Chains A and B, each alone.
Chain A
Amino acid sequence: MNRIKIKSSCLTPIGRRDEDLVALVLEALRGALLEADISRITDVYIASYAPTELCGLTNPLQRLGHAIQLEFPRLRATFRGIFKTGGDALFSALETIDRQAPDDRGDVVVVGAEKMTHLPPAQVAGLLSQRENPHDRAYGATLPALGALVTRSYMAEYGVPERALHEVAVKNHEHGSRNPKAHFQNTVTVEEVASSPLVCDPLRRLHCAPTSDGAAAVLLSPKDGAVWYRGWGKGTDVPLFQERRDISRFTATAEAAARALERANVVPGDVDLVEIHDAFTSFELINLEEMGFFPMGTTWKKLAEGGLRVNTALAVNTSGGMKAKGHPIGSTGVSASVEIHEQLTGRAGERQHRGARLGMIQSAGGVSNESYVFVIEAIS
């Protein structure tokens, strides 16, 4: 079969890092390519959301490509990018490989990274807003502000209690406490989340993913690997947030999931674990529902019953998710692949989900303006 496999992967420690963006990219690549035949690599896909705004790289593809070639002098690959998210880069790589004749396929590296914590958070927010569309920016509509509008609408439409937002954070921090590479490895209580400062009501600080430094890389191979991408899909929404017919829904995620599941020929009930976009804790609930795991507005009940945790029927964000693992924007879609790779190969340590065979990833850009879903399966 012409399967696209993950041969190896690496996630750097996430959090406040002293290294610059280039060093983080190289660190992830060194880990992923430890035992690789460099001469077989044909393409390198690079993702970083705002390397120019945050790190002053005026030509990031050239700068990062040059640094990678110096580090791996036998590399003769084509550098592709800069993709704005890891999910975007991974999707593009899979689509390109899939169109190639099997005999033409070489190994492909996808690496995502972001360096964010060297700047004050308010300055980061201002710089990142330059990547938003000018219409939203004119209103001061930051991502947390738009996320708050979605969250309030979702809670009102489906009767979701505020406590559900707290419980997602508690769960993901509990998973993050078992991940030695997570930004936050501390547990939190419902009371701590509920009393954290409001950012944009109803969203509080502990409902929001942090700004983080870090990088992740996966080596895709047509030959070797213990897991493979069984399906993938992309969905998009209307160009302006304000023009969504129902802002409590993420139609891009529903579209992406439907395509990925159809391609993989599986249903949500087959899936053992999911790494899902939780930039804000409400997004985890909405995205799970849009992917078909639970009816709209009901996931919080499953969570309140103790579900969605490691070694329950469906484990969600075993890495700690963006909420606790951290959110170096450009790396997140790739780092989710690293987590699923580790889980499906039994290398997830204290957070290992028993019997994990089939995993999914959902990664989004903006307020789910576009969404990417991947299905990864262990090869028996």
Chain B
Amino acid sequence: MAEQRESSPRAGGSPNGPAAPRLTLHRCENSHSFFFPHVSCPLCGANLQPFDDPPDAEIVSRTIVRVSPTGSPFALGLARTASGAQTLCIIEGGSETDPGKDVVITKRDGLYYASPRPRAV
């Protein structure tokens, strides 16, 4: 799985807020990027190498899962970083996390969460 380095310099979020950790993703020589550390690229077969990516992303699609195995509704989405890597994510936020909106990706307990990108003051 992709990792986050807590000590990396911030790339996204508010310029006045605390640093958001960068993501360690995986990319092949043809610039196909992934969160999941496959041995080889699912699209072209080339070897994948880890690289640091800012936690900034855009929501591609989202839904409210109203009938869930746990019984509690939650917002599920698909987010895409600037490098093109995509991940499922739990969405924290309302209309500010609609498709097309910018979010920050964080990782907690092995899952990715998308929250609204803080506005610059």
Contact = CB atoms under 8 A, between A and B. Distances in A.
Most-contacted residue by chain A among B62, B77, B78 (CB, 10 A): B78
Contacts of B70: 140
A140 B63 contact: no
Contacts of A203: 63
B111 A247 contact: no
B34 A243 contact: yes
B51 interface: no
B108 to A, nearest CB: 12
Given A141-B88, A240-B36, A247-B61, A149 B67 contact: no
B63 A145 contact: yes
A242 interface: yes
A242 B42 contact: no
A201 to B, nearest CB: 5
A144 interface: yes
A144 B73 CA distance: 13
A140 B36 CA distance: 18
Contacts of B62: 149, 152
Nearest to B79: A242
Interface string B63-90: 1111111110010111000000011111
Contacts of A199: 66-67
A54 interface: no
Contacts of B120: none
Interface string A119-151: 000100110010000011011111011001110
B69 A122 contact: yes
* Main SS class of interface, B: strand
B18 interface: no
B117 to A, nearest CB: 20
Contact of B69 (A126, A150, A239, A243): A126
Contacts of A200: 63-67, 76
A241 interface: yes
Q: How large is the interface on A (under 10, 10 to 19, 20 to 34, 35 or more residues)?
A: 35 or more
A267 interface: no
Interface in A30-70: none
B64 A129 contact: no
Interface string B42-61: 11000000000000000011
Interface string B83-102: 00011111000000001000
Contacts of B111: 138-139
A125 B87 contact: no
A141 B62 CA distance: 11
B39 to A, nearest CB: 12
A148 B62 CA distance: 8
B30 to A, nearest CB: 13
Nearest to A198: B66
B68 A142 contact: yes
A239 B36 CA distance: 11
A197 B67 CA distance: 10
Contacts of B66: 197-201
Contacts of B88: 135-136, 139, 141, 241-242
Contact of A149 (B36, B74, B77): B77
A298 B87 CA distance: 29
A199 B65 CA distance: 7
Contact of A239 (B35, B42, B64, B89): B42
A239 B43 CA distance: 10
Contacts of B69: 122, 125-126, 129, 140, 142
Nearest to A144: B67
B76 to A, nearest CB: 5
A314 B106 CA distance: 48
Contacts of B36: 135, 240, 242-243
A243 B61 contact: no
B11 to A, nearest CB: 21
Given A148-B63, A247-B78, 13 more contacts: A135-B88, A138-B110, A145-B65, A153-B99, A156-B61, A198-B64, A200-B63, A200-B66, A200-B76, A202-B63, A241-B88, A242-B87, A244-B86
Interface of B: 34-36, 42-43, 60-71, 74, 76-78, 86-90, 99, 110-111
21 contacts: A126-B69, A135-B36, A138-B110, A139-B111, A140-B68, A140-B74, A141-B65, A142-B69, A150-B61, A152-B99, A153-B61, A153-B99, A199-B66, A199-B67, A200-B66, A242-B78, A242-B88, A243-B36, A243-B42, A245-B43, A247-B60
- The 7 closest A-B CB pairs, nearest first, are A148-B63, A153-B61, A149-B61, A238-B42, A200-B63, A126-B69, A145-B65
